Amino acid sequence: MPQTDIDPQAVAERIRFLMRQQRLTQAEFARRIGLDAANLSKQLNGRLPMTKGLINRITADIGVSKRWLLTGHDLPFAKPETAAHISVPDTAVAETSSATGTPIYDIDVTAGCTELSREFTSDRIIGAMTIPSLSPSAVIVKVNGDSMEPEILNGSYIAIRPVTDLECIFWGQIYVVVLEDFRLVKHLRRLPDPEKVCLHSANPLYDDMEISRDKIRNLYLVEAILNIKIQC
């Protein structure tokens, strides 16, 4: 596996993200891909080189995009074999001149409780948009509900990217918070108790929520808000 444009440390972080997303310990993840846990630990910590065999095992056994795993581009569970056949519709948020850019998904980020990355499949793409400075791993999804108004209008779109380290939170920023039973779009605020966080709505009609940090399954940072108002 060529190493010239591959960052082993970044690959290791994406593997750790997969462990958290799958809710597996390092030992369980190693068993899942048929690898010795001690060797996996050494590869993740840089004591052994990141091998082609490890990448292929994860790609095959976890079903993750090899391009995403190696470079951070694409999506963790994309379907590249059909992506080339996607037609981009003429919608208010799609750039019809090109299918390149940040993909827009027909997904309501606040509906359901499944891990979002499982829903980011090519058949859910309805368009694409080029927005300067967005991270390569960002995607655009819809938000329904008024809890974040006036910052995020009901029915608008947001660009989000996965957070690989759940301990690294930019306090005060807006996140998609994936819990066991539901998904929320909220400001994350610090609490005196380091084991808890505050979920704050922009709409004053909604009360703050305090939750334990260990209840958070996944986080997605909101990088951009696309408030769209259809006139007719």
Per-residue pLDDT tens for 25-81?
888 888 888 888 888 999 999 899 888 888 888 887 777 888 888 888 777 775 434
Distance in angstroms between the alpha carbons of the first and the last residue of the chain: 53
Give the confidence band of 206 by pLDDT, cuts at 50, 70, 90: very high
Name the residue among 91, 175, 101 with its Cα closest to residue 138. Answer: 101
Taking domain 8-74, whether its CATH number is 3.20.180.10 is answered by no
* Domain boundaries of the chain, sorted by first residue: 8-74, 81-226
- 113 pLDDT more than 80: no
Q: Is beta strand 102-108 parallel, antiparallel or unpaired with respect to 139-143?
A: parallel
For domain 81-226, which CATH number applies: 3.40.50.150, 2.40.160.20, 2.10.109.10, 2.40.128.110? Answer: 2.10.109.10
Per-residue pLDDT tens for 117-170?
778 888 888 888 888 778 888 899 999 999 999 999 998 999 998 887 777 888
Write down the mean pLDDT value for the chain. 81
Q: Could you tell me what percent of the chain has a pLDDT over 70? A: 85
pLDDT score recorded for residue 230: 58
Q: Give the Cα separation of 9 and 166 in Å (integer).
A: 17
Give the confidence band of 174 by pLDDT, cuts at 50, 70, 90: very high
- 94 pLDDT more than 60: no
- 3-state per-residue secondary structure call for the chain: CCCCCCCHHHHHHHHHHHHHHHCCCHHHHHHHCCCCHHHHHHHHCCCCCCCHHHHHHHHHHHCCCHHHHHHCCCCCCCCHHHHCCCCCCCCCCCCCCCCCCEEEEEEECCCCCCCHHHHCCHHHEEEEECCCCCCCCCEEEEECCCCCCCCCCCCEEEEEEECCCCCCCCCCCEEEEECCCCEEEEEEEECCCCCEEEEECCCCCCCCEEEEHHHCCEEEEEEEEECCCCCC
